[in-house]
Amino acid sequence: MSLTFSKRTALVTGAGRGIGKAIAETLARQGVMVVCVSKNEATCGAVAEGIRAAGGAAKAWAVDVADGAAVAQACERILAEFPVIDILVNNAGITRDGLLMRMSDADWHSVIETNLSSCFFWTRGLCRPMTRQRWGRIVNITSVSGVMGNAGQANYSAAKAGMIGLTKTLAREFASRSITVNAVAPGFIKTDMTAEFSTKPEIAAKILEVVPLKRFGEASEIAAAVEFLCCEEASYVTGQVFAVDGGMAM
């Protein structure tokens, strides 16, 4: 099936690498203008430049997504340039793993603020024009850790589970304005974040014991799920969590 995308503008956080980069590039291939956001100006700039070189439309915006004031200022400036952000993909995320008894306050707060609070900041800052035009797509990239829990990831699992609760609540709040809000929950995907796992045979083998499909996923497979949720044909899908995890959370 060919997916339909009208002339839309998207903003993708954490777009400088990994899953965010794949999502930005996939949407750009559908003719979507993509605002690539990350804390690192060089990485999001390189992704935007690559999209433009391939014939797409993109702009880079360096913002610390955990800083509510910085995000509010960025949203104001972005909406001054683009009348509406039609598609918002909250993908930015970090890990600071460790057992609860040894986890510092700083490691707890940094993960909650970057992974969960950032979704609140960006959605609040960009939702009003969406509601006025009565069309929008919001996709939050959560994790299988937020669905099942994972030892050593109390902060990360809590943040990702919080994203699921936020997704379901916003789906109800925005439904009357024809704005859909969904979540995609990746399993173990080949990215910089999981490089340590996927490149060490003994660790990879242990992980794959709990993955029915017996392989790591690709960032492009997450991007494909996001692509569908952002298209015109997905207009009746909202408040859902789509696991793209090789069967882990069955």
How confident is the model over 55-100, as pLDDT tens digits? 999 999 999 999 999 999 999 999 999 999 999 999 999 999 999 9
Residue type, 195: A
Cβ atoms of 118 and 71 within 8 Å: the answer is yes
What domains lie within the chain, and their CATH numbers? 9-191+219-244 (3.40.50.720)
Alpha-carbon distances, residue 193 vs 135, 198, 219, 229, 248 (angstroms): 33, 10, 12, 24, 18
Indicate the pTM of the whole model: 0.96
Of the listed 5, 122, 156, 242, which one is catalytic? 156
Residue type, 142: T
Query: pLDDT tier at 199 (50, 70, 90 boundaries)?
Result: low
Q: How many residues does the chain have?
A: 250
Token pair 């039609």 in the structure block, residue? 86
Average pLDDT score, the chain: 96
pLDDT at 12: 99
pLDDT at 198: 62
156 is known as an active-site residue: yes
Cβ atoms of 108 and 162 within 8 Å: the answer is no
Token pair 């910085």 in the structure block, residue? 70
Count the neighbouring beta carbons within 10 Å of the beta carbon of residue 55: 9
